[in-house]
Each structure stands twice: as C-alpha cells, then as structure tokens.
Structure 1
Amino acid sequence: MLVGAPARAQDAATLRKNMIGQWELSTTERSKTCVVTLKNDTSPQGLKLELEPDCAKALPFTKDITAWNIKGLDIVRLQNPTGEAVIDFTEVESGIFEGIRTGEGVYILQNLAAARSLTKSMDQMIGDWSMVRGSGRMVCGLTLTNTETTQDNFAVFLKPRCDPLVANFNPKQWRLERGELLMMSASGEIWHFEADDNAQWRRVPDSADPLILLRQ
C-alpha cells in the first residue's frame, strides 16, 4: 500500500497542475456555458477560481461554487465554502471532463480554447448535406438547422425521395457531442457519425457499404 502512495500522489499533483487555466463549464451540447478560471493559489476553502459574471444566470448551480480541488486520484471538484461538492468531474477523454448533478443531468468541463473551436465546428455544420453510400450513391438530402427543439438538440429536415432506410429512421433532431454528430428519431433511435480524414462524416460502427454525410 505504502509503495504505491508516491505514484498516486504524483498523479493527483499532475492533474492539479494540468487543470490550471481557463475552462468552459457547459451543458452537453453547450447551449448554456460558463467560463471558469482555475488557479493554483490556495484559500481557506480550497484552491481559488474565478467565474465569469454571467455564470449564475446560465448555470444557476454555479452560484454555490467558491473553490476547486483535486479529490482522490482523478476527481476535479468544484466546491462550496464548506468543501462539499457542488459538482465532481472525471476525465472521459483527453481534456474533457464529465460531471453529473442529480435531477439536472450531465455537464461538461473542457479546455476553453478547444471548446471555442467546437463552437466554430457547430456553426459550420448548419446547412444542406447529402447522405451517400460508400460507393458514392446518394440516398438522401437533409438540412441541419440551428433551431433548438429540446434542450441541447436542434431540428433536422429530410428532403423528398430519401432511401427507405433513412426515411424509416426519419431523424428529427441532431447535435454534436464529444466529437460525434448524433441524429435522433422521434422514437429515440440514434445514429452516430464521426468525422473521417476527408472532412466527411461516416456512420459508426463502420460497415462494408457505409453511410457518409457530405456537405452540399
């Protein structure tokens, strides 16, 4: 047990060092965001931080956050003045942390520069697209909009004469989440697309004759 202690301490220390800087705290689709600056300075409550002025308006629970800390090996805690967790985050992929508030849902903490790059990506997704097979055969045309339908989801519209596979799926909503484009039907079915090396979006898991989204 003692033999492993220094390594665990080093892991926590490294995480603390890596967290210093500006982060975006947001809902999963980033319809509500807040910039948090994590500092290395200590205070009686924990490590210091700054929240931008509009944080409490966008995410009301942030009004209770006064400090941050590392708990255990890998938990980034945003805490209240008594040290209790307002929300705990764990890293789900490089530079992206996920936390859950009971009764509210999932929140994301990610590097501010990376988050702002994602905003540009979402803006670039708005408009008309073609869905084609790997062979190049077009199976459907569709339009991605920035019209919010439910929280964090946006309207998608199919054009006439779609292939039955797509027409039967009949996606109604879309969003970007953790680098994937998600399309959702009214019944709750979800298709996942990932960007490939050619700046196209390919449905995953992959298949012998994949569905690919191309900008029109």
Structure 2
Amino acid sequence: MSERRCLVWQARATVVAAVAALVIGAPPVRAQESGALKKRMTGQWELSTAERSKTCVVTLKGDATAQGFRLELEPTCAAALPFTKDVAAWSIKGLDIVRLQDATGQPVIDLTEVESGIFEGLRSGEGIYILQNLIAARSLAKSMDQMIGDWSMVRGNGQSICGLTLTNNEATPDNFQVFLKPRCDPAVAGFAPTMWRLERGALLLMSVKGEVWRFEADDNAQWRRTPDTVDPLILLRQ
C-alpha cells in the first residue's frame, strides 16, 4: 500500500472512530461543559438587583424535575423580587447560560456568566439582575460596610485635595449618600459627587449630572481612579 493511501485510510479510521463514539454514547464536548457548569451551580446563590438593594437566596439542586432541575427560594424572595413567584425550576442553556424558568419550562430570566461565578440577566422594563455565589455576595456586603466613614482624595504625590464621607444612607434604591468636606480642589468640587456604590469590586462616585468616577483597589490597599493617569487620584481611608 502506498504512503498516500495509508494516510487516507488512517483519516477514515479516525472519522469512523469518532462517529462510533457518538453512537455508543460518548458525551460531546458541549455536553461535558454543560455538565461541568451544572455541577458548579449546585448550591446556594444570591439573586439580586444590580446594586444588591433587593436580594433573594436561591438554592439550586441537582435533581431533575419535569422541566429542568429543582430549586428552592427563601420565603422573602417574592416580596423582594416579585418575578421569582413564577420561578419553578432551573436549567443550563448553551455553554454559559443559567435559566430560571416557570413550571412550563419557559424562561423567567436567562443569566449569562460575565465573570467567573457572576451571572447577569436582563428583564425588559426592570433592569439587570445578578446571580452570584452566596458566600461571595455576603463578603461584598461586608466590604460595603467597611467602606463607611471618612476618606481623603490625594494626588499621586500624596497631596490631599479633598475629604469625603461615605455613608450608608440610601440616596436611591441602589446608591448611598456621599458628602464632600469643605475646601476641596476645584476639580473635585466641580464634580460634586452625591452618591456612591460598590459595583463588581469597584467604587463608583456619582454626581447629580450623571458623571461617574470609578476607583479600583490596588495592591497597596488604596483605591485609584481608573483609567490610570500620570497624575492619579487616590482614595485613602482616614
């Protein structure tokens, strides 16, 4: 047999083997990945509005129902997030979508993984909802409590240009009040933030004009405004 013919037969054999594996039930890659996500999702999760002003604990189970997999909602869910009254089961769609569905299998909300362990879903007319591991979510809540208090905004050279106080007073359903202290640098005074919140590990300061300054924690346990510049702005705890 010529070398070329040998290669052809080897290629055919590879295809036949792959088809045979499918016929006898070897799981395709997509099924394996879906199975891995299902296993990872089993447990307790927090479903919330984007800023965690309203939350609901969902326990995703691994045992099957007629339409998907079983779940349990804590009793306060219906009051916090009314659409959860229609949620009866959950399922995996595609490679990275967790679907909360009604008793007929229709989607109530589809949540897509946007970061490891964090899923986002949009309900038309309502906004974005977040599904994340319960322990991680409660850790974030603790982090928010630790943010309350007095801060100093400084330049990269250490020069203080403004003092501000982050409070836990609700400004809107998703944001909290922030107050500037007297004699702030004109750039900060002109920005005039009135609200703050934590969002995906970042601190957001917001003005009534809709302007947003974003700060992210660095390796030195301080918060730097992003995107970074040659003369950065840094928030330090007082």
TM-score, length basis structure 2: 0.88
Tell me which residue corresponds to 2:109.
Answer: 87
Shift of 1:45: 2.5
Tell me which residue corresponds to 2:192.
Answer: 170
Tell me which residue corresponds to 1:193.
Answer: 215
Q: Deviations over 1:107-135 (max 9, x none)?
A: 10000000010011000001110000111
Task: Provide runs of 4+ in structure 1 moved above 4 Å.
Answer: none
Q: Percent identity?
A: 75
Counterpart-to-counterpart distance in 2, 1:147 and 1:100: 27
1:78 aligns with 2:100: yes
Does the residue aligned with 2:204 lie in a helix, a strand or coil?
strand
Counterpart-to-counterpart distance in 2, 1:126 and 1:27: 21
Higher percent of residues as strand: 1
Counterpart-to-counterpart distance in 2, 1:169 and 1:96: 31
1:16 aligns with 2:38: yes
Counterpart-to-counterpart distance in 1, 2:76 and 2:173: 19
Tell me which residue corresponds to 1:140.
Answer: 162
**Using CA pairs below 8 Å that are at least 6 residues apart, which structure has the higher relative contact order?**
1
Higher percent of residues as helix: 2
1:56 aligns with 2:60: no
| 1:88-103 pair list within 5 angstroms | 88-103=110-125
Shift of 1:10: 1.6
RMSD (Å) for aligned C-alpha atoms: 1.3
Does the residue aligned with 2:33 lie in a helix, a strand or coil?
helix
Q: Which has the larger displacement, 10-19 or 117-126?
A: 10-19
Shift of 1:55: 0.5
Tell me which residue corresponds to 2:235.
Answer: 213
Counterpart-to-counterpart distance in 2, 1:74 and 1:84: 18
Q: Deviations over 1:61-111 (max 9, x none)?
A: 101001000012211000000111111000111111101100000010000
| Residue in structure 1 matching 2:205, options 170, 177, 183 | 183
Q: Which has the larger radius of gyration?
A: 2
Does the residue aligned with 2:184 lie in a helix, a strand or coil?
coil
Task: Extract unaligned runs of 5+ from structure 2.
Answer: 1-17, 20-26
